[in-house]
Amino acid sequence: MSDDETRADETREDDDAPTGGKEMGFLDHLEELRWRLIYAMLGIVVGSVVIWVFRDFVMDGFLLKPARDNHLVLQNLRPFGQIFLYMQVALFGGVLLSIPNLLLQVWLFVAPGLYPHERKYIRWIVVYSSFCFIAGVAFAYFVIIPNAFDFLATFGTTQIENNIAVDEYFNFLLNTMLGAGLVFELPMVSFFLSRIGMLTPRFMRKYWRHAVVIILIVASFITPTGDPYNLLILAIPMLGLYEISIWLAKIGYSKHRKSAAERAAGT
Residue 4 is predicted with a pLDDT of 47
Determine the pLDDT at residue 44. Answer: 93
In single-letter form, the type of residue at position 89 comes to V
> Contact, 126 vs 107, CB < 8 A?
yes
Instruction: Return the pLDDT at 8.
Output: 43
Distant-in-sequence contacts of 53-61, Cβ < 8 A, 24+ apart: 55/86, 55/89, 55/90, 58/89, 58/93, 59/86, 59/89
How much is the pLDDT for 114? 65
95 close to 102: Cβ distance less than 8 angstroms: yes
The per-residue pLDDT for 15 is: 46
pLDDT recorded at residue 188: 84
- In the chain (267 residues long), the average pLDDT of successive 10-residue segments reads 46 47 67 87 93 90 85 80 87 89 84 68 80 89 84 70 81 86 87 82 88 86 70 84 89 80 70
Give the model's pLDDT for residue 9: 47
Is residue 162 a contact partner of residue 72, using CB atoms and an 8 Å limit? yes
pLDDT number for residue 42 = 94
Q: Look at residue 74 and give its three-state secondary structure.
A: strand
pTM of the predicted model as reported, rounded to 2 decimal places: 0.75
**pLDDT on residue 50:** 94
